[in-house]
């Protein structure tokens, strides 16, 4: 995918794309059909390979027919039935039986989100390694600490890097916390699985309700998702993912903001990685714009509002099935997830290739010496010697503590 409105969107690849969503819905229908056979509700002949019945071009066809029913499941099921009736009448008859459209959409969204989260998690792991190395390499690189835009006290660039690292580690923890929420949705019309239970009764199963639960749990196992009671109007699985994505873009935005500021020509303490053709201006040949930082900041600015939409939808999910709030989630999740995937990739490139100008940092410290040691003088006395190198407090201990935490992050290189 590409998007003229969102530069760099192609970095997200197929994550949360129309074709991925279509494919995920078909996977849900196919796994459910197989489950009906497994528990003994449908005959063996009803099992079928549905993936081969659709192609990427069908996404537009299904989308165009979605307005009539308010969601894409109805036209998808109709398309699948039309294409399989001649070759497998049993599969056509049993397709989608016991499910409702929300079951299919929600479960498919969880599959798509898992793919996006896997990609972001991989980016975070690379970032942890890159930032750990920056912090360790520059634990003695003194620079001016700044508060409220003004020179404050001396710090080291290593300390700044572990500040970035903490945000990335927190984001990784938040992402890990989403895994139990990536769950199947199986509840039928109103969350009772009444249709599935009735189908099991009609098939002569001893305990129809237990068979319905077994079928739902089996779907979770087949798709690699967590089992969960129906959550048609309990939208925590959606909001917890949204919150984790924003935790990540918050962390990346903080890094990008610092890099953009420290990269100003009058400061010049860090420089984005150079790539031919990137950062130029259409009219000013001298410009080398910090494009990665700008684009990451763009994501950090826009994603919180998307998560807020998910929370608003969750709060307004009424009755046993929502009337509009559920529908508001799909495109919101797509946009939020894709923007996070793009920003994650851009941040990885940013921190992995960041150039640190330690000489410029030293020049700034020398130039701002009196301001940077003012607090030291006020505490030690006017006659005391003042040296920025001796006023770093517990910076090394902070760096060590954060690096120790980073070393426990799965997949992080030493």
47 phi, psi to nearest 5 deg: -70, 135
- Please, what's the b/e burial string for 12-29 (b: 16 or more CB within 10 A of its CB; e: otherwise)? bbebbbbbbbbbbbbbbb
| Portion of the chain with pLDDT greater than 90, in percent | 90
Question: Tens digit of pLDDT for each residue in 264-274?
Answer: 999 999 999 98
H or E segment to which residue 260 belongs = helix 236-262
* SS percent in the chain: helix, strand, coil, step 5: 60, 5, 35
The verdict on residue 1 lying in a domain is no
263 phi, psi to nearest 5 deg: -90, 0
Q: If you search the block for the tokens 């529908």, which residue do you land on?
A: 327
Residue 281: band (very low, low, confident or very high) from pLDDT cuts 50, 70, 90: low
Residue 383's pLDDT is 57
CA distances in angstroms from 360 to 356, 390, 395, listed in the order given: 9, 20, 21
Residue 369's pLDDT is 93
Residue partners of 239: CB distance under 8 A and separation at least 6: 307, 310, 311, 314
Residue 288's pLDDT is 77
The verdict on residue 35 lying in a domain is yes
Residue 356: band (very low, low, confident or very high) from pLDDT cuts 50, 70, 90: very high
Q: Is the pLDDT of residue 392 over 90?
A: yes
CA distances in angstroms from 158 to 89, 132, 228, 392, 397, listed in the order given: 66, 9, 44, 11, 11
The verdict on residue 13 lying in a domain is yes
Alpha-carbon distance of 196 to 283, in angstroms, equals 65
Mean pLDDT of 393-409: 96
What residues pair up with 151 in beta bridges, in sequence order?
Answer: 146
The verdict on residue 52 lying in a domain is yes
Number of domains in the chain: 1
Question: Tens digit of pLDDT for each residue in 101-151?
Answer: 999 999 999 999 999 999 999 999 999 999 999 999 999 999 999 999 999
The domain spanning residue 136 has which CATH number?
1.20.200.10
Question: Tens digit of pLDDT for each residue in 82-97?
Answer: 999 999 999 999 999 9
Catalytic residue among 236, 281, 355, 378: 281
The verdict on residue 148 lying in a domain is yes
The verdict on residue 414 lying in a domain is no
Q: Is the pLDDT of residue 296 over 80?
A: yes
Residue partners of 64: CB distance under 8 A and separation at least 6: none
Alpha-carbon distance of 49 to 47, in angstroms, equals 7
Rounded to two decimals, the pTM is 0.95
Mean pLDDT of 50-65: 95
What residues pair up with 156 in beta bridges, in sequence order?
Answer: 142
Residue 206's pLDDT is 94
Three-class SS state of 155: strand
The verdict on residue 167 lying in a domain is yes
Q: Is the pLDDT of residue 342 over 70?
A: yes
The verdict on residue 325 lying in a domain is yes
Instruction: State both tokens at 32.
Output: 């459910």
Instruction: State both tokens at 225.
Output: 């998702």
More confident residue, 195 or 1: 195
Instruction: State both tokens at 3.
Output: 């998007």
Q: Is the pLDDT of residue 282 over 70?
A: no
Q: If you search the block for the tokens 């793009």, which residue do you land on?
A: 342
> Whole domain around residue 375: which residue ranges?
9-407
Instruction: State both tokens at 333.
Output: 């999740």
The DSSP 8-state label assigned to residue 368 in this structure reads: T
Question: Tens digit of pLDDT for each residue in 232-256?
Answer: 999 999 999 999 999 999 999 999 9
Average model confidence (pLDDT) across the chain: 94
Catalytic residue among 321, 360, 377, 405: 321
CA distances in angstroms from 232 to 76, 91, 369, 383, listed in the order given: 20, 27, 61, 70
Q: Tell me if residue 281 is catalytic.
A: yes
């Amino acid at each position: 995918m590409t998007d003229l409105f969102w530069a760099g969107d192609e970095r997200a690849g197929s994550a949360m794309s129309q074709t991925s969503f279509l494919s995920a819905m078909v996977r849900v229908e196919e796994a459910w059909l197989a489950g009906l056979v497994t528990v003994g509700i449908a005959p063996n002949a009803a099992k079928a390979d549905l993936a081969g019945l659709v192609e990427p071009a069908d996404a537009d066809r299904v989308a165009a027919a979605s307005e009539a029913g308010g969601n894409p499941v109805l036209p998808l099921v109709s398309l699948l039935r039309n294409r399989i009736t001649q070759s497998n009448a049993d599969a056509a008859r049993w397709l989608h039986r016991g499910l409702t459209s929300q079951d299919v959409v929600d479960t498919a969204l969880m599959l798509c989100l898992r793919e996006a989260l896997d990609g972001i998690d991989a980016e975070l792991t690379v970032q942890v390694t890159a930032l750990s190395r920056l912090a360790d390499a520059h634990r003695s690189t003194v620079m001016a600490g700044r508060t409220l835009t003004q020179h404050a006290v001396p710090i080291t660039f290593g300390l700044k890097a572990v500040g970035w690292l903490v945000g990335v580690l927190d984001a990784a923890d938040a992402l890990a916390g989403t895994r139990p929420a990536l769950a199947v949705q199986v509840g039928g019309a109103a969350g009772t699985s009444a249709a599935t239970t009735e189908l099991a009764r009609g098939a002569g199963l001893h305990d129809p309700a237990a068979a319905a639960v077994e079928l739902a749990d089996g779907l979770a196992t087949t798709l690699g998702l967590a089992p969960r009671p129906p959550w048609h109007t309990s939208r925590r699985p959606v909001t917890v993912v949204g919150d984790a994505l924003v935790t990540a873009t918050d962390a990346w935005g903080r890094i990008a903001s610092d890099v953009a500021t420290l990269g100003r020509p009058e400061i010049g303490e860090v420089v984005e990685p150079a790539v031919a053709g990137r950062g130029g201006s259409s009219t000013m040949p001298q410009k080398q714009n910090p494009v990665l930082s700008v684009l990451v900041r763009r994501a950090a600015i826009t994603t919180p509002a998307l998560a807020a939409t998910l929370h608003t939808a969750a709060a307004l999910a009424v009755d046993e099935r929502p009337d509009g709030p559920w529908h508001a989630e799909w495109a919101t999740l797509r946009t939020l997830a894709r923007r996070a995937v793009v920003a994650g990739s851009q941040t990885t490139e940013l921190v992995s290739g960041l150039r640190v100008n330690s000489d410029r940092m030293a020049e700034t410290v020398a130039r701002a010496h009196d301001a940077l040691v003012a607090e030291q003088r006020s505490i030690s006395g006017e006659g005391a010697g003042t040296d920025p190198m001796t006023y770093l407090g517990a910076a090394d201990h902070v760096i060590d503590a954060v690096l120790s935490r980073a070393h426990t992050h799965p997949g992080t290189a030493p």
